Amino acid sequence: MTDCTIDIEQYLEKNINGICNNSYHKNTDNHCAHFVSHVLGFRFGFTCRGMTGDGTADDSANIRVHQVFTKCPKVGKWDDKPVSTTFCLAFITSASNVNLKTKQMRNHPRKHIGIFHGGKIYHYSNRKNKVVAQTPSIYAKHYSGDDITVYYGSMPKSDTDS
C-alpha cells in the first residue's frame, strides 16, 4: 500500500517531462493517470514504457484511468467517502461511465484522476501541462455537465500485475 507520507508538493508546477523518465512527454497526450501512477508506483496494466519502448519496467507507470479505477480495493461517490479517508484517489467523469457494483469505468475520454492528500487534490492539468493542487470543490468543476460526478478510490497496491 502506498504511504501517505509521500512528498507530493515537490511535483507542483512540474511538466510531465520532469516526472517521467520513459520519454512519454507529449503535451497532446493525456497524462493524468500517468502522473498519479508515477507518484504512487502503479506499474500494472498499460504503461508509459509501453507507449515509447524507452526506460525500464521498474520505472514505468500506468497511463489509463479506467485501469486504476478497477484496481482500487474500494470505490464510491466522493460524498460517501468516509471522513477518516484523508489519502485516496479522486476520479471525475460522467456518472454514466461508472458502474460502482462491478467497479468498472468506461474508457470515455472525458475522465480524470488525481490524488487526495492533506485536504487537496493534486492532479496533472492537461490544459496547463503541469501538476496543480485544488480543493475538492474546485476539482468537482473540472468538467461541465449535470451528471459529472467525483468518486473516491482507496489506494491500489503499488506494483505490477503479478
Partner 1 sequence: MKKPIILIFVSAIAALFVGTQISFANKIASPLLASPPLSEKTILAILMANLDIPLKNAAHCDGVGIDEHDRTIGDYLSGFWSFHTNKKSKNWLEINATKSAKNLYLAKLMIYQKNEGESWGWGVSFELDSNKKVNRNSFTCLGAG
Distance CA 94, CA 145 (A): 8
Pick between residue 24 and residue 139 the one whose CB is nearest to partner 1.
24
Pick between residue 14 and residue 25 the one whose CB is nearest to partner 1.
25
Q: How far is the CB of 93 from partner 1 (least distance, A)?
A: 11
Cell numbers representing residue 8 in the block: 507530493
Q: How far is the CB of 74 from partner 1 (least distance, A)?
A: 19
Pick between residue 79 and residue 159 the one whose CB is nearest to partner 1.
159
Q: Is 124 helix (H, G, I), strand (E, B) or coil?
A: strand
Cell numbers representing residue 54 in the block: 524507452
Phi/psi zone of residue 41: left (φ > 0), alpha (ψ -120 to 50 degrees), beta?
left
Pick between residue 85 and residue 129 the one whose CB is nearest to partner 1.
129
Q: How far is the CB of 29 from partner 1 (least distance, A)?
A: 5
Residues that bind partner 1 (CB under 8 A): 24, 27-34, 45-46, 48, 50-51, 63-67, 70, 104, 106-109, 111, 126-127
Other Cβ atoms less than 10 A from the Cβ of 91: the count is: 26
What sign for the dihedral angle of Cα 17, 22, 28, 34? negative
Q: How far is the CB of 28 from partner 1 (least distance, A)?
A: 5
